[in-house]
Structure 1
Amino acid sequence: MLIRRETPADAPAIAAIHQAAFAPHYADDALPPEPALVEKLRTDESWMPTLSLVALEYDTVVGHICLTRAGIGPFPVLALGPLGVDPENQKSGIGSALVHAALGAADALDESVVGLVGDPDYYARFGFVPGLRLGIVPDEPDWASHFQVRPLTAYDPAVTGEFRYPAPFYDL
């Protein structure tokens, strides 16, 4: 497996992966919003091309993750998501490899915090903790039970307050 930055040619495969990965989580064959979210993020000021990564098996894109610019008050931080792996390749370590690569890249860029709304059991293995533990809360109270943060090397404990995702996340 190879993990590299996304290229424009990867966009259709990335959309297909998120469609397939997230469709089972929605009722009545509803279209999952994640493929459209990635498209909107690509045109948003929060987009960070260096932090949109794909996993390749041979020459086939089998997974995708992106980190985008978010904020905690005046402090710039990152938001993780979406993370998607082709269903035929799930539970093979691709998602974990993508998360590790994204966090390593963010750390190398001297980013301080990564936030996300996701399964606490899954993301704890990567060092994510409930945001409240570090004084960071989501701006949507309904997200509190699944909101987590991962402090990186440049983390400053003074960075506390309300976490705000990039605008496209609120259009879901």
Structure 2
Amino acid sequence: MLNIRYETVLDYPAIADVNRLAFGQDNEANLIDKIRLSDHYIPELSLVAEIDNVIVGHILFSYIDLVNTEKLQVIGLAPLAVHPQFQRQGIGSALVEAGLKIVNDRGEVLVIVLGHPHFYNRFGFQPSVIYQIESPFPVPDDVFMVKPLQNYQQKYTGKVVYPATFAEV
């Protein structure tokens, strides 16, 4: 049975392993380590999925900035990883749903993700350009997406600025 819970310090090595296996590189595992050491880290928004007490998936939501006439704090979803042996079984979807519920319950305003539209659209993510939110990366409009939450307000427009942590990986 799938269990989703907050990460603990003891989970860090398993989370790094899942990310390395899922992405085939160390970048995401290194990014997670750096975010944890920053003021952008939100402990209750780093979730693991486990089956029989073995971590098979991980999702991290952290603070990023939206800059226009003022700098506003929003939530970035990155990374999401599922162990290759457990992919395509609904684990990633369960992690996204659990995380979005916590983010919304915390009163956050919107979540931003760079990812596959066919996966994230089902959770209510839409191209950021619809909300006048600009990607910091030269990517197609449909892969840089936002999901407005219950506290969303129209003043949340501008260019997304990821913390330096993201560039250091």
Asked if TM exceeds 0.5, the reply is yes
* SS of the residue 1:125 aligns to: helix
Give the aligned partner of residue 9 of structure 2: 8
Alpha-carbon offset, residue 143 of structure 1? 6.4
1:46-125 alignment to 2 at 5 Å? 46-73=40-67, 74-125=71-122
Provide the rounded CA distance (Å) in 1 between the counterparts of 2:142 and 2:168. 21
TM-score, L = length of structure 2: 0.93
Task: Supply the RMSD in Å over aligned alpha carbons.
Answer: 1.2
Give the aligned partner of residue 36 of structure 1: 30
Give the aligned partner of residue 154 of structure 2: 157
Which deviates further from its counterpart, 91-100 or 68-77?
68-77
Give CA deviations for 1:22-52 in whole Å, capped at 9, x if unaligned.
Answer: 01xxxxxxx3411111111111110110100
Whichever structure has more helix as a proportion of its residues is 1
Gaps (5+ residues) in structure 1?
Answer: 24-30
* SS of the residue 1:139 aligns to: coil
Residues 4 and 129 of structure 1: is their aligned pair in 2 closer, same or farther, counting only changes over 3 Å? same
Task: Say yes or no: does 1:20 pair with 2:8.
Answer: no
Gaps (5+ residues) in structure 2?
Answer: none
Provide the rounded CA distance (Å) in 2 between the counterparts of 1:68 and 1:97. 18
Give the aligned partner of residue 129 of structure 2: 132
Alpha-carbon offset, residue 139 of structure 1? 2.0
Task: Report the number of matched residues.
Answer: 165
* Seq. identity, %: 39
